[in-house]
């Protein structure tokens, strides 16, 4: 983000906020929004990915936990 120039800094806060919101609205109109089928597909992919990663992390946690318990028993 560029540093504010004296030109933008001299404008009142209300005008700068209004201009910002107008620019945001203009940019959002350029976005290629997904249709319903794409949105459903992307949602399923995200949920499946989260499920797979959470199972992997859970298994790794259980494995390392059991290894630490085993090491503690061997030392003591």
Kindly report the pTM of this predicted structure.
0.60
Cα–Cα distances in angstroms (integers) from residue 12 to residues 15, 17, 39, in the given order? 6, 9, 41
Residue 13 structure tokens:
């806060």
Residue 2 confidence (pLDDT): 60
Q: What is the mean pLDDT of the chain?
A: 91
Model confidence over 1-31: pLDDT tens digits?
Answer: 566 666 666 789 999 999 999 999 999 999 9
Residue 74 structure tokens:
């061997």
Residue 11 confidence (pLDDT): 86
Q: Which residue has the tokens 């290894």?
A: 67
HSE, side-chain direction, 13 A CA sphere, residue 69:
6
Element (H, E) at 70: helix 36-75
């Amino acid at each position: 983000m560029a540093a504010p120039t004296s030109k933008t800094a001299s404008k009142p806060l209300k005008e700068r906020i209004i201009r910002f919101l107008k620019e945001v609205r203009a940019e959002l109109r350029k976005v290629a929004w997904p249709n319903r089928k794409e949105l459903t597909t992307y949602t399923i992919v995200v949920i499946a990915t989260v499920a797979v990663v959470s199972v992997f992390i859970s298994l790794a946690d259980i494995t390392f936990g059991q290894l630490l318990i085993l090491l503690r028993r061997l030392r003591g």
